[in-house]
Amino acid sequence: MNTTTNNDKNMRLVFGVLFLLGLVAPFVVYPTFLMKILCFGLFASAFNLLLGFVGLLSFGHAAFLGAAGYVCGLLVRDSGLSPELGILGGTLAAGFLGWVFGKLAIRRSGIYFAMITLALAQMVFFIVQQAPMTGGEDGLQGVPRGNLFGFIDLDDNMSMYYLVYAIFCAGFFVIYRTIHSPFGQILKAIRENQPRAISLGYDVDKFKLFAFVISAALSGLAGATKTLVFQLASLSDVHWHMSGEVVLMTLLGGLGTIFGPLVGAATIVTLQNELADKVGSWVTVIMGVIFVLCVLVFRRGIVGEIQALIRRSGIN
């Protein structure tokens, strides 16, 4: 009992420190870059909710990120909606798409689940590529950031940053809450022993579907926000490589840890950004090497390894 309260305290401390860091960060680090990290951090965390806490590997999460981005972009640019409504629209669209994917895939498990989600995501890619209003391979360009609630000018990078930060914190909180909620308890039970959970009267498919929809909607939230940040949505967000990238982020940061995906996303985004100037065509090779190392020697990921280290030193 004592240890749990201690843990709670530590956790609260960690959260507090990180929260403050996020508040001051844009004065030190380039804000657009931070916003990108936050968007991908949220995306990876949402993905992790599914893989790390329900044990479902979706290889089609790019569809949610990308589709929400396009929906948000179209709503804001072409229908003239305000940014908050655009984000909301994107999120809802992703949630709905998640429901459709989930309905089709949820009864399969393991590799089959991964493959069906991949196939569905390919269909979404195809639609986005073909549809007349998406701009095809040019992407959806020139999305205005607009004014939040009609009076906060988001063209100012700092206001945009704090909006993204607020969205990230809200999304992250939803994920944290979901994991530590009555619902999350059942998810844990399902991951640990699915037949037993069924025999206790829980409709496992429904829980998985619900978790899938939450994960999809939050991925969509990340995608919609990203569209506003960069003022564009592009095909690469819907491409299956993006689905692979989010797995890499999650794995690198630490599967099933609460901060892992954020750390993983930050690492990958930083690498992509930094390597872009230095190694040229070796970026993909380096990504591949990271993948291989993660799988072979570093399975717990950065945060997982740190936690294990703390636990070990705590025992000694």
Partner 1 sequence: MEIFGIPSALLGSQLLIGLINGSFYAILSLGLAIIFGLLNIINFSHGAMYMLGAFVAWIGLTYFEVGYWTSLLLAPVLVGLLGVVLERTMLKQLYKLDHLYGLLLTFGLALIIEGIFRDQFGVSGEGYAVPDALTGLIPLGFMNLPLYRGWVVIAALTVCFGTWYMIEKTKLGAYLRAGTENPQIVQALGINVPMLITFTYGFGVALAAFAGVLAAPVFQVNPLMGSNLIIVVFAVVVIGGMGSIMGSIVTGLGLGLIEGITKVIYPEASSIVVFAIMILVLLVRPAGLFGKS
Partner 2 sequence: SNNVVKVGVLTDMSGTYSDLSGQGAVVATKMAIDDFIANEKPNFKIEMVQADHQNKADIASNKAREWFERDGVDVATELVTTSVALAVMKVAKEKDRIALVNGTASATITNKECNDVTIHYTYDTYALANGTASALTKQGGKTWFFLTADYAFGKSLESEAAKVVTANGGKVLGSVNHPFPGTDFSSFLLKAQQSGAQVVGLANAGSDTTNAIKQAAEFGITPKQTLAGLLMFITDVHSLGLKATQGMYLTTGFYWDRNDDTRAWSRRFFEKQRKMPTMVQAGQYSSVYNYLKAVKAVNSDDTKKVMDYMKKTPINDFFAKNGRIQANGRMIHDMYLAQVKKPEEAKYPWDYYTIKATIPADQAFTPLKESTCALVKK
Partner 3 sequence: MSQYILETHQLCKDFKGFTAVSDVNLKVRQGSIHALIGPNGAGKTTVFNLITKFLPATSGKIVFKGDDITHEPPAVTARRGFIRSFQISATFPHLTALENVRIGLQRKLGTEFQFWKSEKSLNCLNDEAIALLESVDLKSFVNTVTAEMPYGRKRALEIATTLALDPEMMLLDEPTQGMGQEDIARVVDLIRKVSANRTILMVEHNLSVVSNLCDRITVLTRGSILAEGTYDEVSQNPQVLEAYVGSNDMADAHH
Q: Residue 123 carries which side chain, given as an amino acid letter?
A: M
Q: By CB under 8 A, is residue 240 in contact with partner 1? A: yes
Q: Which of 9, 29, 288, 308 binds partner 1 (CB under 8 A)?
A: 288
Phi, psi of 198 (to 5 degrees): -65, -45
Which of the listed partners (partner 3, partner 2, partner 1, none) does 236 bind, with a CB threshold of 5 to 8 Å by partner kind?
A: partner 2
Report the C-alpha gap between 252 and 232 in whole angstroms: 27
Q: Which is nearer to partner 1, 17 or 285 (CB)?
A: 285
List helix spans (H) across 180-300. 182-192, 194-199, 204-230, 240-253, 260-278, 283-297
Q: By CB under 8 A, is residue 25 in contact with partner 3? A: no
Q: Which is nearer to partner 2, 204 or 283 (CB)?
A: 283
Q: By CB under 8 A, is residue 280 in contact with partner 3? A: no
> What residues between 79 and 108 interact with partner 1 by CB under 8 A?
104, 107-108
Tally Cβ neighbours within 10 Å of residue 311: 9
Print the binding letters for residues 157-196 with partner 2: x by CB under 8 A, - otherwise: x---------------------------------------
Which of the listed partners (partner 2, partner 1, partner 3, none) does 195 bind, with a CB threshold of 5 to 8 Å by partner kind?
A: partner 3
Report the C-alpha gap between 302 and 127 in whole angstroms: 37
Phi-psi region at 257: left, alpha or beta (left = phi > 0; alpha = psi -120 to 50): beta
> What residues between 222 and 251 interact with partner 2 by CB under 8 A?
226, 230-232, 234-237
The structure tokens listed for 305 are 């390894």
Q: Tokens 């991908």 correspond to what residue?
A: 40
CA atoms within 13 A on the CB side of 37: 21
Q: Which of 275, 291, 298, 306 binds partner 2 (CB under 8 A)?
A: 275
Smallest distance, Å, CB 268 to partner 1? 13
Smallest distance, Å, CB 158 to partner 3? 30
Query: DSSP class of residue 148?
Result: E
CA distances from 247 to 54, 124, 273, 291 (A): 15, 19, 19, 9
Print the binding letters for residues 28-67 with partner 2: x by CB under 8 A, - otherwise: --x-xx--x-------------------------------
CA atoms within 13 A on the CB side of 170: 12
Size of the site for partner 1 (CB under 8 A): 36
Report the C-alpha gap between 154 and 271 in whole angstroms: 27
Q: By CB under 8 A, is residue 265 in contact with partner 1? A: no
Q: Which residue ranges make up the site for partner 3 (CB under 8 A)?
A: 1, 174, 177-178, 180-186, 188-189, 192-193, 195-204, 207, 210, 214
Q: Which residue ranges make up the site for partner 2 (CB under 8 A)?
A: 30, 32-33, 36, 129-130, 135-139, 141-142, 155, 157, 226, 230-232, 234-237, 272-273, 275-277, 280-284
